[in-house]
Amino acid sequence: MPARICVLLLLLCLVSFCCGSNKPGEVLLVIACPPYTLHARSECSALSHSVLEQQRALVLTGILPGDFVLNVHLMHELFNHWTLLDALPHLSGQARVLGARTEWIIWCQHNTRVSSLRGLLEQLRRQDPRELSFYGHALYDAEATIIHHFSNHKDPQRFPYPMLSAGVIFTGALLRRLADLVASTGHNITVHSDFSIDASYELARFIFDNVPPAPHISTPISGGIMLKSASYICPTAASVPHRKVACVLHAQPEEPLTLGQRRHGCLHTTTGSHIYFAIKTCAKFHKERIPIIERTWAADARNRRYYSDVADVGIPTISTGIPNVQTGHCAKTMAILQLSLKDIGEQLDIRWLMLVDDDTLLSVPRVSALLCRHNATELVYLGQRYGYRLHAPDGFNYHTGGAGIVLSLPLVRLIVERCSCPSASAPDDMILGYCLQALGVPAIPAAGMHQARPQDYAGELLQLQPPLSFHKFWNTDPEHTYRRWLGGSLVNRSAPLEAHKEQPAAGPLHTVMGRHSLAAGFRLLQATGLGKHLDL
């Protein structure tokens, strides 16, 4: 009798094991959705609805490829999840959506499109989810670029990184390995910098540096796993005519949103006359850089002021009373904000202030169109988002100064009242970002704003979003950049600068916030040696 019971138990175990092993694998589609604008949130909802409708149609017709269960997870972006690596603890921990049975993860952004779920699942069925692999549309640097810390400077065109907005596919095996690595809190992993600048490149670099390939797999560059270029993942729906493989995942380009072609989502009509442009300069560059601005975007910027270390009546410039320094500029920026508020006074038409460098090029009509989607009466902080120590509790987002930083006037008043500099030469953009995060004001990313030159970015990315700004005149023709990329035309005479009303000098840089966390954060920045502007 006991022997028969043992045989029955063994048979039950075998049946249970076989049935369990035949359970369908999971395909997890994650939509990283920025919570800040109605337009982006509506795109996320539309993407989720489209995928679920396609799934329902495939189930009804009985032609769902592969033995898959599809789950869609709408991830409303937390402060550090835009880097993707920092989202992994959320997916495998708090959200509990990345499990042992997850075979494939499809990472999408709000402007990703799944044109054929059937075609996508058919592609996945042909590939092995047990491999440590990831697939996407491969981007390459045309030359060594500062935004990637000049990595692979000898041959930058050999290292691929994914176009995130076109969609990226990970095997479950790889993403679980990455989640374990990130959870190890820095032990035995290689991270080149505490700064987060380009999430797609830094993701590819982290995988390459920390995940070795299987012994039988060779890579073009000695090291770890590299992105596999997938022909079915495309930068746009019509990227390559007569292609052999149909695009099933692609990015949706955004058309220029200018005054002549407003789309839904515009809250308030905005023109250049509603923006106060505070331009940081110094005596060294008065003759070299200011004439370029005057020949390009100044024609659309009636309310512009040049803030310098010296007053030059020939331009004119306004003295901040702060000596020029080679690094940082925190004291100068705070003085500019104080002086700008005094200069704006009771001018009711001005709703926004944009801080720019004297070697920043921008499209005023496109910036105006961007601002029409935001409420100028709220606390709004827009720019090209970077991050510092996003893997840690003391990490924060900030907007990098060279691309231009846009602030609503209520926020400018709050900054002047509540923020201060730990030192005159502290990095102004980072201090501003840290203070605003402590005050609960998020750094809202503005697609199209660029801290570097056009040649520092992959061409597909520049075609995806109409550029709003570029930075640096070095080794480039700024007037060509303005015409080619910012849709501008050169002028012989810009809009005249109004005579500056004499204002009292900026007040002392006061108001140390009474929050221990902010003071500790300032000490952290000083301790790391970041006493200079992160000029990337």
Residues 196 and 305 in one domain: no
Is 169 within a domain? yes
The per-residue pLDDT of the chain, averaged, comes to 84
In this predicted structure, what is the pLDDT of residue 517? 43
- Residue 441 within any structural domain of the chain: yes
CA 299, chain centre distance (Å): 29
Asked whether residue 182 falls in the same domain as residue 225, the answer is yes
Same-domain check for residues 246 and 279: no
pLDDT of residue 433: 98
The per-residue pLDDT for range 329-373, each reduced to its tens digit, is 899 999 999 999 999 998 889 999 999 999 999 999 999 999 998
Q: Are residues 152 and 237 in the same domain?
A: yes
Q: Is the residue at 532 inside a domain?
A: no
Q: What is the DSSP letter of 96?
A: -
Mean pLDDT confidence for 517-533:
47
- pLDDT, tens only, 153-181: 566 667 999 999 999 999 999 999 998 88
Are residues 360 and 458 both part of a single domain? yes
Q: List the CATH number of the domain containing 176.
A: 3.90.550
Burial 440-452 (b: 16+ CB within 10 A, else e): ebbbbbbbbbbbb
CATH of the domain at 485: 3.90.550.50
Contact 226, 159 (CB under 8 A): yes
In the prediction, which pLDDT does 483 show? 96
378 and 454 share a domain?
yes
Which tokens belong to 121? 């699942």
Structural domain contains residue 496: no
Would residue 129 count as lying in a domain? yes
What average pLDDT score do residues 36-62 get?
91
* Residue 530 confidence class, pLDDT cut points 50, 70, 90: very low
Asked if residue 510 has pLDDT above 50, the reply is no
If asked whether residues 71 and 208 sit together in one domain, one would say: yes
CA atoms of 513 and 418, how far apart (whole Å): 6
* Percentage of residues in the chain having pLDDT higher than 90: 59
Q: Is residue 513 part of a domain?
A: yes
DSSP codes joined into one string, 261-317 = G--TT--S---GGGEEEEEE--GGGTTTTHHHHHHTGGGG-SSEEEEESS--TTTTE
Mean pLDDT of 70-98: 81
Please tell me whether residues 305 and 205 are part of one structural domain: no
> Quick one: tokens of 310?
């010296």
Half-sphere exposure of 465 (CA within 13 A, CB side): 21
Choice among 74-88, 98-112, 156-170, 439-453 with the minimum mean pLDDT: 74-88
If asked whether residues 84 and 227 sit together in one domain, one would say: yes
Asked whether the beta carbons of 136 and 453 are under 8 A apart, the reply is no
pLDDT at 535: 35
Domain end among 220, 251, 282? 251
pLDDT of residue 263: 53
Question: Could you tell me if 370 and 461 lie in one domain?
Answer: yes
317-319/249-251 β-pairing: unpaired
Amino acid present at 265: G
Q: Is 96 left (phi over 0), alpha (psi -120 to 50) or beta?
A: left
- Same-domain check for residues 60 and 146: yes
* Res. 42: pLDDT tops 70: yes
Q: Is residue 257 part of a domain?
A: no
Predicted confidence (pLDDT) at residue 134 exceeds the cutoff of 90: yes
Q: Does the structure show a pLDDT above 80 at 237?
A: yes
Q: What range defines the domain where residue 450 resides? A: 273-491+508-527
284 in the same domain as 221:
no
Split into its structural domains, the chain has a count of 2
- pTM equals 0.86
